Amino acid sequence: MPTATTQPDKEQSAFTCITDEHGNRKTEEGQETTNKVRLPLSRKLCYAVGGVPYQMTNIAMGFSLQIFLLDVVQMEAFFVSLILFISHAWDAVTDPLVGYLVSRSRWTPIGKLLPWAVLSMPLAILAYIFLWFIPHNAVSSAFRVPWYLTVSCLFETFMSCYSVPYTSLNMFLGGDQQDRDSATAYRMSVEALAMLMAAVIQGQVLWVYNKDRDQACLNVDQVPDLPHSTALHETRSAFMISALVMSALFFVCCMVLFLGVKEQKGPQSDHMHTTYLNALKKLIGHVSYQRLVLGFLFSTLAFQMSLGNFTLFCTHVAGLGAQFQYLVLAILVAATISVPMWQMTLVKLGKKTALFIGLPLLIPALVVLVAMSENFAVYMVMCVLVGASLAALFLLPWSMLPDVVDEFAVQNPSCKGLEPLFYSCSRFCNKLGGGLSAGISTMTLHFTGYKAGACSHADGVILALKLLLAPIPITSLLVGLVFFYLYPINEACQKQIQQNLGHTRSNSATLPNLEEERFPISQQIYEPSQSFIFKSKPRITSHLNANESVSQAKNSTESSPQKHCNTSTDLYESFKSASQFHKSRAYPTSSQQHNSSVKRLESKLSETQATHQLALKFQDIPDDRSKVTWV
């Protein structure tokens, strides 16, 4: 009959309309009816402004917190090392924990991610102000150490509650992949400007610090130890004013993000995800990811150790403390300009080649900085080289990470949605490098006899600062370059990965269609508002497995017709109940489609009865595979 022949095609068209894998509704001809809305420029800019607070506070703490605790608070180097290392380690640990809590949170009228950023903002501002505040009881170490350790850990926690949802917000801005990439580019540009702004603000603070320190040393007639009650009053005020200014900018940027960005709901994933521990185990065992992360860790350790001690080196060794703000500006301006240069280089020469050109620029720059002192012009040129190398570290390893994710997806097609885990573990290693750098540096200064607030230091301290600026970072960078050299993904391998990834995605998209053609009954009984299709397919599959097990039972030597009877009877009862279920429901199909569904069920029931009679003829015991499991 013509109607019966064309019925499955119509049902297939209806099923395609409802179950498009991208979530787009289609007509019977398969054409999409959704209209793609481009992401407006204003939303991209507001999203980019939201990244300013993290970069500004990160630069301020990276350049000034160590010298603030050592010379302004006048805390011992051992306790400073303890505070910096524990706070950095705590910061690294809180990122995956906050990410897990954010993923478990519910949707609110203002979104799922934005409430985290807005609610954590006032707490982060309060903790940041207290971080640069010196209490009246800060004379004793018994009060100072717990105070700054607690405040720094609280600040890192609240900043994780702000930054983790903010970085994840990129996937929920709306638009397509091109819009998200454009929003990321705007974000990187605005964050580079934020780093420059923070460098200018902290440069003025350090200028006040050097002037106040020199004046205090002249007043006490070159006495090594400065009295705590009279030293660096203007510097304390400068640090507090800087904290208030950055807190105000933090508030403004967060409000721009909240008012200018409307979070979109993401599509629900229908893939089965592996457990967290199994995914983490597979990720750690992935060779390409191991080498990329280890190379990134040692390279980050080299840069953070050299830049973290650059302030103390310029102040106590090079004699350029008053000009330090200009040196920092040279580094950051060179880094900002070099980012597009390295982008063009990696397009023309490849990522690994560009990496091996950019990172080694740090080595001659550090050697010259240690060898020459009190030469401002030479230091400016070397700072430009340091900034260019810093831009390579800022861009290239993060551009190599998507290749590792694609390779992992090709080798492990069953593991879906693990991209946040890749990025959070990479960020963890980055922060771990910062914590190790701060801990090693201040511990070295402690053992060499660094005295807080001293106008001059012993030769051991000078030697330690030179070692921390050049030899140790250069060694760490060379170790990182070895891991980058062993990194297996080159340009040819990257193209092959993309081809394999395309085949894998096309195969995964084809498998559901093949499954639908094999079991057309599920298409006829499917309803958009119900999920019976996911229950009917396993039952039909179990029926086919039972038929296969009957044929396999012919070769066995023992008998148990009662088990076959029970299995067949259970199968019969299940199809009977399924038939009653279909008859009791009203489907949004025509009567012809419903009758066709019932006829198919009745034919399956007759086949089941025949299978039951066939099973009684054999005196065999079926193996475990003949047991029907209802899912």
Judge whether 360 and 474 are in contact, CB under 8 Å. no
Residue 31, in any domain of the structure: no
Tens digit of each residue's pLDDT (9 = 90 or more) over 234-293: 788 889 999 999 999 999 999 999 998 888 775 444 444 556 667 678 878 889 999 999
Locus of tokens 């009977």: 576
Residue 501, in any domain of the structure: no
The helix/strand/coil state of 358 is helix
- How confident is the model at residue 232, as a pLDDT? 67
Domain end point (choices 264, 283, 306): 264
* Domain CATH code at residue 114: 1.20.1250.20
Domain end point (choices 264, 289, 310): 264
405 lies in the same domain as 305? yes
230 lies in the same domain as 367? no
Q: What is the rounded CA–CA span in Å between residue 108 and residue 88?
A: 32
Q: What is the rounded CA–CA span in Å between residue 487 and residue 482?
A: 9
Checking phi first, is residue 505 left (phi over 0); if not, alpha (psi -120 to 50) or beta?
Answer: alpha
252 lies in the same domain as 287? no
Domain end point (choices 449, 469, 490): 490
Residue 449, in any domain of the structure: yes
Residue 15, in any domain of the structure: no
Judge whether 421 and 45 are in contact, CB under 8 Å. no
219 lies in the same domain as 282? no
- How confident is the model at residue 597, as a pLDDT? 53
Cα of 298 vs its chain's centroid, Å: 19
382 phi and psi angles, rounded to 5 deg: -65, -35
Residue 505, in any domain of the structure: no
* pTM confidence score: 0.62
Regions of the chain where pLDDT drops below 70: 1-37, 137-139, 171, 176-178, 180-182, 185, 219-232, 266-277, 279, 416-421, 423, 452-453, 504-631
257 lies in the same domain as 285? no
479 lies in the same domain as 541? no
107 lies in the same domain as 52? yes
Handedness of CA 518, 521, 524, 528 (dihedral sign): negative
Kindly write down the DSSP assignment for every residue of 267-325, as one continuous string.
Answer: PPP-SPPPPHHHHHHHHHT-HHHHHHHHHHHHHHHHHHHHHHTHHHHIIIIIS-GGGHH
Q: What is the rounded CA–CA span in Å between residue 451 and residue 458?
A: 9
Residue 582, in any domain of the structure: yes
Kindly write down the DSSP assignment for every residue of 34-88, as one continuous string.
Answer: --PPPPPHHHHHHHHHTTHHHHHHHHHHHHHHHHIIIIIS---HHHHHHHHHHHH
Q: Say which residues have a Cβ less than 8 Å from residue 320's Cβ, sequence separation at least 6.
A: 314, 327, 374, 376, 379
453 lies in the same domain as 473? yes
324 lies in the same domain as 241? no
Instruction: Report long-range pairs for 211-220 (Cβ below 8 Å, ≥24 apart).
Output: 211/322, 213/71, 213/321, 213/455, 216/455, 217/455, 220/455
Distances 425 to 152, 288, 343, 466 between C-alpha atoms, Å: 22, 14, 24, 32
Q: What is the rounded CA–CA span in Å between residue 168 and residue 99?
A: 9
Dig out the tokens for 13 from the structure.
């068209």
Structural domain harbouring 323: 274-490
Residue 403, in any domain of the structure: yes
- How confident is the model at residue 332, as a pLDDT? 86
Judge whether 497 and 408 are in contact, CB under 8 Å. no
316 lies in the same domain as 188? no
485 lies in the same domain as 541? no
* Domain count within the chain: 3
Q: Spell out a b/e string for 121-141, using b for 16 or more CB atoms within 10 Å of the CB, else e.
A: bebbbebbbbbbebeeebeee
Which of these, 258, 253, 271, lies nearest to 113 by C-alpha position?
Answer: 258
Residue 510, in any domain of the structure: no
Helices 41-49, 177-219: axis angle to 10 degrees equals: 30
Tens digit of each residue's pLDDT (9 = 90 or more) over 515-553: 444 444 333 333 333 333 333 344 444 444 444 444 444
284 lies in the same domain as 216? no
Which of these, 129, 122, 174, lies nearest to 151 by C-alpha position?
Answer: 129
Distances 514 to 90, 509, 519, 545 between C-alpha atoms, Å: 50, 10, 9, 18
